[in-house]
Amino acid sequence: MKNNPRVTDIEVDVHAEEVYMKKKVGNEIQTYQGQVNEDGMFLINWEGKNSYIIEIRGLDEDGNILYQDKLN
């Protein structure tokens, strides 16, 4: 993700391994959020073994999506 000073928040969508590997029916996506600090860095921490980040979004202060990328 390119450093964009307008990005103030990050969202990541996470699937459990069973969903990711298409072994389980359903759409069990958990979304986690974190703020970007003044250095342009962020940390997202989620609980759950064998989880996969499937999408990441950078949002501005109004919640508009400035960056979006699928990771699989």
Residue 25 lies in a domain: yes
Q: Shortest CA distance to 46 belongs to which of 55, 34, 58?
A: 34
DSSP state of 40: S
Structurally, the chain folds into a number of domains equal to: 1
Q: What are phi and psi of 20, to 5 degrees?
A: -60, -40
Mean per-residue pLDDT for 8-28?
A: 68
Residue 2 lies in a domain: no
Q: What pLDDT, in 10s, does the model give residues 24-69?
A: 545 677 788 888 888 888 877 766 666 677 788 999 999 999 999 8
Residue 3 lies in a domain: no
Q: Which domain holds residue 44?
A: 9-70
Which amino acid is residue 26, in one-letter code? G
